[in-house]
Amino acid sequence: MELIKGKEYKRKELHDFYGGQRQGGIATPIEHPYVFIISSKRGEDHGYIDGWTNENKFFLYTGEGQNGDMEFKSGNKAIRDHQENKKKVLLFEETKKTFIELKSELKLIDYSFIQTLDSKKRNRKAIQFKFAAENSSQTFNSDNEQNTIKYPKTYLKPNKTESKGLVTSRVGQGFYRQELIKKFDNKCAVTGINIEEILIASHIVPWRHSNDEERLDVENGILLSPLYDSLFDRNLISFEDNGEIIISEKVQDKELISVLNFNAKIKISEGMKKYLNKHRSKLR
């Protein structure tokens, strides 16, 4: 069975030929070099946020899992690792009941965690994938594609870190955040708080003042809880090369002072020092 862009398929017949999960939004045919993602307006009932952005340059797709926090397993894992596993991601959009249309081939460029409601209307952490449309052929034939797909061995940081359209989109931020979470053991560098969904991947030298390499350099980052991130971003606190906190004299609010740790000391890697030197020069 050929897969042709713009052609409508009965979902049952597609799965009869290729296999893969018949329910849900992600199908992973074992014997074919594809991952199918099916976008449906009904996904909104489960907190899914899908669609094109930046003048149709990028496609956002919420991972699978109707209840509770999403994890990188099953279809979510297949999407994340599709390049390493030499699988093409094909986007289908539901046209009418039981029918779907092949819209595009996609390539994963980033992912992030977002807050949504699950099908029971409970707040949960969801995975949002960010894809770029691939300029590939209009027709796919799994009989001869297994050996012709050429992808990088592992996930690579995107070359372009910022794309401008109607909304500025920062590419690579999901990757950057996950690297900082690993570096700081899933904890705020100052407080030790380990509630992942509130932790912020804070740049030492701000995004707007960094070049492409610096924007995705993990050494140019600190994982912080919201209060300390806000103060750090506004140059009201900084850190010495030995990790000791510096608090600006501009911080005068008594209630704020009462909750700050004036003896805080964070772990500093060698690569962070050049960025911290620039940050300290902006201390208010």
List of residues 6+ apart from 100 with CB closer than 8 A: 8, 9, 11, 14, 38, 92, 93, 94
pLDDT at 35: 96
Predicted TM-score of the model (pTM): 0.59
Residue 173: pLDDT band with limits 50, 70, 90: low
Asked whether residue 76 carries a pLDDT value surpassing 50, the answer given is: yes
Domains of the chain: 3-154 (2.30.280.10), 173-280 (no CATH)
Indicate whether 68 pLDDT > 80.
Answer: yes
Distance CA 224, CA 192 (A): 9
Neighbouring residues of 245: CB distance < 8 A, sequence distance ≥ 6: 190, 237, 238, 239, 261, 262, 263, 264, 265, 266
Span 178-188, pLDDT tens digits: 789 889 999 99
